[in-house]
Amino acid sequence: MALTLLLGSLPLPSQAGPEEDRLAFVGHYQSLFPEVPIAEYANGIYALDEDARAQWLAIEDFPPYEFSIERGSELWDTSLPDGSQLTDCLGTEINKIRPQYPRYVPNQGVVTLELAINACRSAAGAKRWDYSSGDMIDLTAYLAFEARGQELNVRVPADQPGALAAYEAGKRFYYSKRGQLNFACADCHVTSVGQYVRADRLGPSLGHPTHFPVYRSKLGGMISLHQRFFGCVRDVRAKPFELQSEEFRNVEFFLSYMSNGLEINGPGARK
């Protein structure tokens, strides 16, 4: 009876607040790898794997994403059809733009940097960019680069029930098994982090959103965070969602919240 009362009075696990979730999430990795400083998780798997880290640092000597940053910088300075520039719409402090996203906006849901860029282009009479286009990825690479050293600071305001709903939807997606192979994101990136799937080591979700977009050697090009999500969902043999779909934006919102306090260090380079 006393036990029933006690259990009855405990909140359901899924109803824990975002900040409790985040502390538990960080704590999970901390208990698995006590020697790894939390800030290191911004470097993904290279926080955990010495050999891969050495190779990665060698790649970083001549960053394969440099060209993307340069192109992004040119796009930033290009005038839009109505004579305005993106800076008029997105903000004048260039290092403060990337850290404002993803954020929840009532009636719009989770607004990512990509969504904000397209909204600005649209308002200025320019064509919206495809979310897998080189232009979009280059511009986000540039804005990430300019924001290096700023911390992720995603907010789920208590007075906006929609924000909590979006966060909860992203959390639910992250922990749900899907696809013919029946994997949840968490099955690999929480439960099995650091383990090998054939030759590949599974990276931590903590710190995952900080370094995108990334240059992937395997693909010989830059990819966005949502393209990475797309690849994972496809690999568990589920039908992937569209880039910048509500599902993926909610996952980005949840995962970015989990990484709050970590430094933005994009663009990155990955195998």
Partner 1 sequence: MDRARVSKHVIGALLVSLFAGGCASEFDRRFDEAERLRQDVAARGYEWINTADILEQAQASEASGDLAAALVLVEQARFQATAALLQADREAEAWKRRVVR
Partner 2 sequence: MKNLLPLGLLVVAQSLLAADDARIAIGKEMTFDRAKGNCLACHRIDDGELPGTLGPPLLAMKVRFPDRAALKQQVCDATIRQPDSRMPPFCRHGILTGEEVDLIVDYLYTL
Catalytic residues: 232
Scan for tokens 């008029």, then name that residue.
Answer: 88
CB atoms closer than 10 angstroms to residue 16 = 14
Helix axes 161-175, 246-258, angle to 10 degrees: 90
Site map (CB under 8 A) of partner 1, residues 130-169, x = contact = ----------------------------------------
- At its nearest, how many Å lie between partner 2 and the CB of residue 201? 9
Question: Which of residues 155 and 172 has its CB atom nearest to partner 1 in the complex?
Answer: 172
Query: Could you say whether residue 38 binds partner 1 (CB under 8 A)?
Result: no
Distance from C-alpha of 166 to C-alpha of 57, rounded to nearest angstrom: 36
The one of partner 2, partner 1, none whose footprint includes residue 175, by CB under 5 to 8 A per kind, is partner 1
Task: Tell which positions 214-243 bind partner 1, by CB under 8 A.
Answer: 234, 237-241
- At its nearest, how many Å lie between partner 2 and the CB of residue 175? 10
The one of partner 2, partner 1, none whose footprint includes residue 216, by CB under 5 to 8 A per kind, is none
- At its nearest, how many Å lie between partner 1 and the CB of residue 36? 17
- 13 burial (CB, 10 Å; 0-12 / 13-18 / 19+) is exposed
The one of partner 2, partner 1, none whose footprint includes residue 176, by CB under 5 to 8 A per kind, is partner 1
- At its nearest, how many Å lie between partner 1 and the CB of residue 171? 7
Query: Could you say whether residue 247 binds partner 1 (CB under 8 A)?
Result: yes
Q: Provide the phi-psi class of 199: left if phi over 0, else alpha when psi is between -120 and 50, else beta.
A: alpha
Joined tokens for residue 37: 């400083």
Joined tokens for residue 164: 């909590």
Site map (CB under 8 A) of partner 1, residues 179-208, x = contact = xx-x-x-xx--xx-----------------
Task: Tell which positions 175-214 bind partner 2, by CB under 8 A.
Answer: 180-183, 187-188, 191-192, 195-199
Q: Binding partner 1 by CB under 8 A: which of 79, 133, 153, 176?
A: 176
Instruction: Tell me which amino acid residue 228 is.
Output: R
Query: Could you say whether residue 173 binds partner 2 (CB under 8 A)?
Result: no
Joined tokens for residue 158: 């208590």
| Rounded-to-10 torsion of CA 254, 258, 260, 265 | -90
The one of partner 1, partner 2, none whose footprint includes residue 12, by CB under 5 to 8 A per kind, is partner 1
Distance from C-alpha of 208 to C-alpha of 43, rounded to nearest angstrom: 8
Query: Could you say whether residue 36 binds partner 1 (CB under 8 A)?
Result: no
CA atoms within 13 A of residue 256's CA, in its CB half-sphere: 31
Query: Could you say whether residue 252 binds partner 1 (CB under 8 A)?
Result: no
Enclosing H/E stretch for 32 = helix 18-32
DSSP character for 187?
I
CB atoms closer than 10 angstroms to residue 124 = 17
Query: Contact positions toward partner 2, by CB under 8 A?
Result: 180-183, 187-188, 191-192, 195-199
